[in-house]
Structures are given as C-alpha cells and as structure tokens.
C-alpha cells in the first residue's frame, strides 16, 4: 500500500500532514508513504526528521496583486504539475492527501489527472485559496470547522472531521496535569502564550495582567513569551513576591498546561484551537491580524459563536482590557463552565480516525469503480465479439 502526502510552507500545514502520515502507518503497517513538499520549505527538514521519504518540487505562491512575479509563479506551477505527475505515476499511490500550501495545488491536480483518489484537509474556518480551487476537483474536502462548507464551490463534496491533535491532548486530565506541573489542585490557573515565536501584543498586555493579580494567592499565571522576546519581557520586570507567576521563553509541556488551565489567552491558529477544544479549556483569543485572508479571526469567531471563547482584536488589545475581562470571568464560574462545555462539544479527539476513515472509503470507491469499469469493458468486448461473430456467420451462411 502506497500513499502520497503533500502540504507545506508553514507548520499549520506540515504538522497535520505528519499526523495523517503517522496515522496511515499505524493503520496499515506495511504502507509506504512519500511526502511531496516545496523545495526549500520547512517541510524539507521536518519530514525526513520524522522518518518519512521526501521529494521536493519547485513552486511558489501567487502575490495578491498584479505583478510580473505572478507570471513566473504560474510558469513554475505548470512545471511543478508535470514534475508531480511523474512522481505520482512512478510511485503509484492508492491515494494522495493534501493539507494546504502552494505545493498542494500541482500535486493534487496531478493526482486528479491520473485518476488517483485525492483528499484535501482544510485547517481554517475560512478555506484557503488552494482548497477553494481544488475542492470541486478532488474526491473529498475534510474540514476542521462546521460552517466552512459555505466558502467551498457549489457541488464540492465535504466532511467535517476536525483537525488531528496529538493523543497527549485529551479531556478530563486536570487533576493529573496539575500534579505533573506541581500546581495545587485548587486555585485559578491562567495560561497565556502567543505561538511558538510569541506575540508582542499579548506580551505587553500580560505585563499589566500580572501586575493586576500579583497579590492574588488564589491565581496562578504561566506566561510564555516566545524565545526571541523573553529577555525583553523580563527586562525591568520583577516577578510578584507571592510566587504566583512563572515566565518561560518556550513551553514543552503544552498538553499538560492546557489540561491544567482554567483559562487560556492565545492566538487563534487552527492547531491551537483544535487543542483547546479537545481539552475543553475556556479561551480569550487574540487573532493574529496579518494572517492570510484574516483566517485567524474567522477561526476565533467560530469558537465565539458557540460560546467557547471570547475574542479581543489585536489592534484593540490593552493590558487593562485583558485584565478586566479576566476579572469578569473569575467572578463568573458559571460562564467558565459553560465555555468549557462548549469547547468540548466542538472538540474532535477522533479527527485523525475520521480522516483515515475518509481515505479508506475513497479507496473502496476507487476499487468499485475500477471493478465496474473493467466489468463494463469485458461486457462491451464480449458484445463486440458476438456481434462480429454473427456478422461473419451470416456471410458464411450466405455462401
């Protein structure tokens, strides 16, 4: 059994692709998996490090304005299509799975051209350009958020599966997680971070939050600044003597921290929101304002509509506003519990299993199609032979 996985450019595309690759390996232990990524993209390092075969193609994205560079990008996309077609034809996969990014376009188009079942997984509430262009051509679009189908072209086949998260992210681990993090079982625990590189806006606001709650022994704060901003954050800033605050440049124990937290303050990347909803952690979301197509705000609003999160826009965020919002939630445990329940309703811990099931169904459909096609060709051939034989017999009898 052979599968091709494609997706790249950012971790948001690569990590779900790797999760699906690992899931396929576990489900089909004899499977061979080839990952096709962008030449020079981060996947060129991450994929081999994860133990998967990797091939690259040269491709780059279109700029969102008229530009001569777009002519070159289109030419390169055409060359990438033929390159991908050669790879797919040589590897002969049972299915091709894409998770977004510019590299997905030519690879999935080549799969469609070669009549190989193709699936694309969309992480964000607002589907990206690649997904919207391919949704009608591929066999199935797997969506992370319910409601995203409204942005797909009419006639596109879709299924809401959620986004795969690591098994360490799971509900109902609060007590275990607090013990592992050396936190008391009682008290209000706030986790705040701005992604792997941090977020300057959230960092600025959290300084005031820490000041506001520095004397509260019933409140614990763990703030993750991002490696590049750690020294700047700590400069001239004294931690509270109550010892209720911990500052870290990076957090390796994120599954434990999210499970232990009573509230999280963070950006609204799709992977982060999938983890938050699976653990059922109430959230104050500050979408990154420069995300392509403003997709982080679409993600955040999807949670807000269901009552699982509160959204504060980046340009409006201040320390006072954030601290006031936290105080309101502290005084309203009923609302926090309702947010946690809403998050758990949205969480999809079986996302990976559902995506693997979709892939299996596409392969079964392909088998039936091939069998029906072959049978039809045989019957057509037999009819042709009978017709030919009858005609010949007639001529023979006429003599």
pLDDT tens digits, 282-320 = 999 999 999 888 999 999 999 999 999 999 999 999 999
Task: Indicate the angle between helix axes 270-279 and 11-27, nearest 10 degrees.
Answer: 60
So what's the pLDDT on residue 386? Answer: 46
pLDDT tens digits, 238-267 = 899 889 999 999 998 999 999 999 999 999
Give the Cα separation of 271 and 121 in Å (integer): 13
> Half-sphere exposure of residue 8, counting CA atoms within 13 Å on the CB side?
29
Does some domain include residue 393?
Answer: no
104 and 35, same domain (yes or no): yes
- Among residues 146, 164, 182, the one where a domain terminates is 164
Does some domain include residue 369?
Answer: no
pLDDT score of 52 more than 60: yes
So what's the pLDDT on residue 398? Answer: 39
Does some domain include residue 374?
Answer: no
42 and 86, same domain (yes or no): yes
What is the end-to-end Cα distance of the chain in Å, rounded?
A: 57
218 and 155, same domain (yes or no): no
255 and 209, same domain (yes or no): yes
- The two tokens of residue 50 are 């994860």
pLDDT tens digits, 350-368 = 999 999 999 999 999 998 8
pLDDT score of 71 more than 60: no
Candidate from 52-61, 62-71, 75-84, 246-255 with smallest mean pLDDT: 62-71
Give the Cα separation of 225 and 162 in Å (integer): 28
139 and 185, same domain (yes or no): no
- Binning pLDDT at 50, 70 and 90, where does residue 232 land? very high
150 and 208, same domain (yes or no): no
Dihedral Cα 267, 246, 228, 204, nearest 10 deg: 60
- Among residues 164, 188, 206, the one where a domain terminates is 164
128 and 272, same domain (yes or no): no
Total tally of structural domains belonging to the chain: 2
pLDDT tens digits, 164-223 = 998 888 888 899 999 999 998 889 999 999 977 778 999 999 999 999 999 999 999 999
So what's the pLDDT on residue 371? Answer: 72
Does some domain include residue 354?
Answer: no
Does some domain include residue 140?
Answer: yes
- Among residues 100, 133, 164, the one where a domain terminates is 164
The percentage of the chain sitting over the pLDDT mark of 90, rounded to a whole number, equals: 73
202 and 78, same domain (yes or no): no
103 and 60, same domain (yes or no): yes
Give the Cα separation of 156 and 4 in Å (integer): 22
- Binning pLDDT at 50, 70 and 90, where does residue 130 land? confident
CATH classification at residue 46: 3.40.50.2000
Does some domain include residue 113?
Answer: yes
Those residues whose C-beta lies under 8 Å from the C-beta of residue 76, and which sit 6 or more positions away, are 58, 59, 60
Q: Which of 142, 169, 137, 166 is nearest to 7 (CA)?
A: 142
Does some domain include residue 180?
Answer: yes
Round the CA-based radius of gyration of the chain to a whole number and report it.
Answer: 26
Range of the structural domain that residue 52 is part of: 2-164
CB distance 101 to 9 below 8 Å: yes
So what's the pLDDT on residue 102? Answer: 85
9 and 151, same domain (yes or no): yes
Does some domain include residue 382?
Answer: no
211 and 245, same domain (yes or no): yes
130 and 233, same domain (yes or no): no
pLDDT score of 82 more than 50: yes
């Amino acid at each position: 059994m052979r599968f091709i996985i494609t997706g790249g450019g950012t971790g948001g595309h690569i990590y779900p692709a790797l999760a699906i690759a690992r899931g396929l390996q576990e489900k089909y232990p004899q499977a061979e998996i080839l990952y096709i990524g962008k030449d020079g993209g981060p996947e060129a390092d991450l994929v081999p490090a994860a133990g998967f075969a990797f091939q690259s193609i040269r491709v780059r994205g279109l700029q969102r304005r008229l530009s001569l560079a777009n002519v070159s990008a289109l030419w390169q996309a055409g060359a990438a299509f033929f390159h991908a077609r050669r790879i797919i034809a040589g590897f002969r996969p049972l299915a091709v799975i894409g998770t977004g990014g510019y590299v997905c376009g030519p690879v999935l188009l080549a799969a469609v051209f070669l009549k190989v079942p193709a699936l694309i997984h969309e992480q964000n509430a607002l589907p990206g350009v690649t997904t919207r262009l391919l949704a009608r051509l591929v066999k199935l679009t797997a969506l992370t958020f319910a409601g995203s189908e409204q942005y797909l072209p009419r006639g596109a086949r879709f299924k809401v599966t959620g986004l795969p998260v690591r098994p360490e992210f799971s509900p109902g681990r609060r007590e275990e997680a607090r013990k592992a993090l050396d936190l008391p079982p009682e008290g209000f625990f706030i986790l705040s971070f701005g992604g792997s590189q941090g977020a300057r806006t959230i960092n600025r606001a959290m300084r005031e939050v820490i000041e506001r709650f520095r004397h509260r022994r019933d409140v614990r704060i763990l703030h993750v600044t991002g490696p590049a901003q750690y020294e700047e954050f700590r400069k001239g800033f004294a931690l509270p003597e109550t010892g209720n605050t911990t500052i870290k440049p990076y957090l390796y124990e994120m599954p434990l921290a999210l499970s232990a937290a009573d509230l999280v303050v963070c950006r609204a990347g799709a992977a982060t929101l999938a983890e938050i909803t699976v653990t059922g952690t109430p959230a104050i979301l500050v979408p990154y304002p420069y995300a392509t197509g403003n997709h982080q705000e679409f993600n955040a609003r999807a949670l807000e509509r269901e009552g699982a999160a509160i959204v504060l826009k980046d340009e409006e965020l201040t320390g006072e506003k954030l601290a006031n919002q936290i105080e309101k939630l502290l005084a309203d445990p009923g609302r926090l519990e309702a947010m946690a329940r809403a998050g758990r309703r949205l969480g999809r811990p079986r996302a990976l299993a559902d995506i693997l099931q979709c892939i299996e169904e596409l392969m079964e459909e392909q088998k039936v199609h091939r069998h029906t096609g072959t049978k039809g060709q045989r019957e057509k051939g037999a009819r042709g032979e009978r017709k030919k034989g009858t005609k010949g017999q007639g001529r023979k009898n006429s003599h």
